[in-house]
């Protein structure tokens, strides 16, 4: 029988070998063209989608967590929705041109990624991390959770084979089979690792941040869901039950607490009960808390990802056979209220408050008790209250009138589709973004002189450096963005890094304004059915759109349409970046 020390040594050896192998592959991968990378990523995504069902079955069988049908949907989300989001993303060569400022941005891969994959969402997270890493031309080594080694390595093998058939270098997707804490730490600290992408418990995330490498780490969620008095209470309850029961609540962004205004609390309770929720008595609440919450204030692994009826049976609670969610009514948050933690199963804590101000404070308490910077939801039809929550809550994703589980990952919202969700400074993370290939790129900037030092100084002529009159200084040659772009593309073609360059766009629209007003179809009336045309005549003939998001730009690209924008058009940052890359905007009146 292998001793723990032998396993540690074997795990450390595997980590070192995989990191070295990945580093060798990285040198080749970094030279691939955009078209080559895109072909590889497409083949890997298709391979993962084709095996979504078998991988989901393997994950449930090995870990005992979650629901097979829901894990299929998560696998397809990673293989299809994430892929659809990243497939047209420019990650090679010149990715952005700002001609009016003489700046060109060039993408370089960050380097080898050490990816820590959890047992709660094993195959979907593996699919997602492999796709975003290779899209960024980063080799990747996976360290699976010890309870999910088989399903994670099977996923990695499947995608590696598909990628290699399309030209992916051997070793660009690697994995560890003998997994111990010592081996994982060795992987994260290895000199050939450039960046860490860690999803797991707080201990693991802290280890990632202490490894001496740049790291994206994501810990617990403990997301509250607030039902405000103006909400459609029926829909709010359906959304919360849907989010909490999806894959038996193992996603870190799933709802963990319900906070409801007293004015609609009775209606909310009735709605929950009719949706399959069972409200526990104080005695049953204590019994469940003793079984579910460990002395370390963590959820009991034996109950994680189990159904509500299975949990009740194991704990010794009598509940109806059709129970979907167990709800414990609590008066506070913290150590004396054990069920106020993140629970990773279909158990909700339930709080009644007087108004949105009290709800605001209660939600902050819940987030501070293990969910800082992660996710929450608000169900309301009052835009003023919604905006107040957006301004005041220590959460990076505040989803509105949708399940936190589905909204946070970008399934039911316009957020970037992702399985790793940054918690920002609130949660001790380096970013509050949904992680994408952009976070695995180094962006280099070529910045040409557009004015002389003397001309840029706010001095009188007699104060110019060296006594030289600023008016007498020879001016630099005018910045010719088209000529420069041609030279750049010609050079990149010698390294096989070029593809048709995104057209150079006029200056972007003014920064976007308020996003609290509800969107209506009228806001999209600026979509032009004609092919892209940046002429003044075409711009003058169409009405500018009132609001443009990234989905609008992608739809216009698919249909070879332009989008007319004007001085008052609200344009989201992601929409502007994508439109500038592909010349989608017509500028009316700018």
Residue 363's domain is classified under what CATH number? 3.40.309.10
**CB neighbour list of residue 452: distance below 8 Å, 6 or more residues apart:** 473, 474, 475, 476
**Using 50, 70 and 90 to split pLDDT, how confident is the model at 497?**
low
Domain match, 358 and 287 both = yes
495 is a domain residue: no
Give CA angle at 64 (60, 65), nearest 5°: 80
Sheet holding 223-227, edge to edge: 277-279, 325-329, 347-353, 255-261, 223-227, 373-379, 395-400
Residue 516: what pLDDT?
32
Domain match, 95 and 128 both = yes
- pLDDT surpasses 80 at 502: no
Domain match, 255 and 199 both = no
Domain match, 201 and 239 both = no
Domain match, 192 and 247 both = no
Domain match, 254 and 142 both = no
Residue with the larger pLDDT of the pair 452 and 344: 344
Distance CA 239, CA 227 (A): 11
83 is a domain residue: yes
Nearest Cα to Cα of residue 150 among 220, 81, 64 = 64
Nearest Cα to Cα of residue 78 among 381, 362, 318, 410 = 410
448 is a domain residue: no
425 is a domain residue: no
3-state secondary structure of 404: helix
- pLDDT surpasses 70 at 194: yes
Average per-residue pLDDT for the chain: 87
Its domain, for residue 561, covers 505-590
11 is a domain residue: yes
Percent of the chain past pLDDT 90, that is, above it, reads 69
- pLDDT surpasses 60 at 536: no
- pLDDT surpasses 80 at 413: yes
Distance CA 103, CA 446 (A): 5
435 is a domain residue: no
**Using 50, 70 and 90 to split pLDDT, how confident is the model at 84?**
very high
Catalytic residue among 138, 151, 252, 423: 252
Domain match, 253 and 172 both = no
pLDDT tens-digit readout, 1-24:
678 889 999 999 999 999 999 999
Residue 517: what pLDDT?
32
Domain boundary residue among 374, 389, 405? 405
Residue 272: what pLDDT?
98
Domain match, 237 and 364 both = yes
CA atoms within 13 A on the CB side of 25: 27
β-strand pairing of 140-144 with 173-175 = parallel
Give CA angle at 265 (261, 271), nearest 5°: 130
Quick one: tokens of 54? 């078998």
β-strand pairing of 441-447 with 547-548 = unpaired
279 is a domain residue: yes
Identify the residue whose tokens are 């660009």: 172
Domain match, 37 and 164 both = yes
Please give the C-alpha separations between residue 68 and each of 62, 306, 434, 508, in angstroms, as whole numbers.
12, 12, 25, 46
**CB neighbour list of residue 571: distance below 8 Å, 6 or more residues apart:** 508, 509, 512, 547, 548, 565, 579
Distance CA 116, CA 139 (A): 14
Domain match, 167 and 248 both = no
Return the bridge partners of 447, or none: 103
Residue 336: what pLDDT?
94
* 252 counts as catalytic: yes
Distance CA 250, CA 252 (A): 6
Residue 542: what pLDDT?
72
Distance CA 484, CA 71 (A): 49
The CATH number assigned to the domain holding 186 equals 3.40.605.10
Residue with the larger pLDDT of the pair 315 and 498: 315
333 is a domain residue: yes
Residue 550: what pLDDT?
75
**Using 50, 70 and 90 to split pLDDT, how confident is the model at 548?**
confident
User: Domain count of the chain?
Assistant: 3
Residue 427: what pLDDT?
86
Domain match, 55 and 173 both = yes
Domain match, 20 and 168 both = yes
pLDDT tens-digit readout, 374-412:
999 999 999 999 999 999 899 999 999 999 999 999 999
- pLDDT surpasses 80 at 537: no
């Amino acid at each position: 029988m292998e001793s723990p020390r032998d396993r540690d040594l074997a795990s450390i050896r595997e980590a070192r070998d995989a990191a070295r192998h990945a580093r060798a592959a990285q040198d080749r991968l970094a030279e691939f063209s955009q078209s080559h990378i895109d072909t590889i990523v497409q083949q890997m995504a298709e391979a993962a989608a084709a095996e979504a069902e078998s991988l989901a079955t393997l994950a449930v069988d090995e870990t005992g967590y979650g629901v097979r049908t829901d894990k299929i949907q998560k696998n397809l989300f990673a293989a299809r929705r994430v892929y659809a989001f990243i497939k047209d993303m420019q990650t090679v060569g010149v990715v952005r041109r700002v001609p009016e400022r003489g700046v060109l941005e060039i993408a370089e891969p960050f380097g080898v990624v050490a990816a820590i994959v959890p047992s709660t969402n094993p195959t979907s997270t593996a699919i997602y991390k492999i796709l975003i890493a290779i899209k960024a031309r980063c080799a990747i080594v996976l360290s699976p959770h010890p309870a999910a080694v088989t399903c994670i390595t099977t996923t990695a093998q499947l995608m590696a084979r598909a990628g290699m058939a399309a030209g992916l270098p051997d070793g660009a997707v690697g994995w560890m089979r003998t997994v111990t804490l010592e081996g994982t730490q060795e992987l994260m600290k290895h000199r050939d690792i450039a960046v860490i992408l860690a999803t797991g418990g707080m201990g693991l995330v802290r280890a990632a941040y202490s490894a001496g490498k740049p790291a994206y780490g994501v810990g617990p969620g403990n997301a509250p869901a607030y039902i405000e008095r103006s909400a459609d209470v029926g829909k709010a309850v359906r959304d919360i039950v849907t989010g909490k029961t999806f894959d038996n609540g193992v996603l870190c962004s799933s709802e963990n607490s319900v906070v409801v205004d007293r004015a609609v609390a009775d209606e909310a309770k009735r709605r929950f009960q009719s949706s399959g929720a069972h409200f526990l008595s104080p005695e049953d609440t204590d019994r469940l808390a003793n079984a579910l919450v460990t002395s370390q204030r963590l959820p009991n692994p034996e109950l994680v990802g189990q159904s509500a009826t299975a949990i009740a049976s194991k704990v010794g609670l009598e509940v109806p056979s059709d129970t979907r969610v167990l709800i414990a009514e609590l008066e506070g948050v913290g150590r004396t209220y054990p069920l106020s933690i993140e629970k990773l199963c279909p158990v909700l804590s339930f709080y009644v408050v007087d108004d949105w101000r009290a709800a605001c404070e209660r939600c902050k308490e819940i987030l501070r008790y293990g969910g800082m910077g992660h996710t929450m939801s608000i169900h309301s039809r009052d835009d003023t209250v919604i905006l107040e929550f957006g301004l005041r809550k220590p959460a990076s994703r505040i989803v509105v009138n949708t399940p936190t589980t589905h909204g946070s990952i970008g399934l039911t919202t316009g957020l970037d589709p992702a399985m790793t969700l940054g918690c920002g400074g609130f949660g001790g993370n380096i970013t509050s973004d949904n992680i994408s290939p952009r976070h695995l790129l180094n962006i280099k900037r070529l910045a040409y002189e557009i004015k002389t030092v003397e001309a840029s100084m706010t001095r009188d002529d007699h104060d110019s450096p060296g006594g030289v009159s600023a008016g007498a200084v020879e001016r630099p040659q005018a910045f010719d963005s088209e000529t420069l772009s041609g030279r750049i593309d010609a050079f990149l073609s010698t390294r096989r890094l070029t593809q048709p360059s995104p057209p150079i766009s006029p200056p972007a629209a003014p920064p976007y304004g308020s996003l609290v007003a509800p969107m209506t179809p009228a806001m999209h009336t600026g979509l032009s059915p004609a092919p892209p045309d940046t002429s003044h005549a075409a711009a003058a003939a169409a009405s500018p759109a009132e609001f443009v998001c990234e989905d609008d730009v992608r739809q216009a690209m698919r249909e070879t349409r332009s989008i007319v924008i004007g001085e008052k058009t609200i344009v989201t940052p992601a929409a502007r970046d994508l439109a500038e890359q592909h010349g989608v905007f017509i500028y009316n009146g700018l």
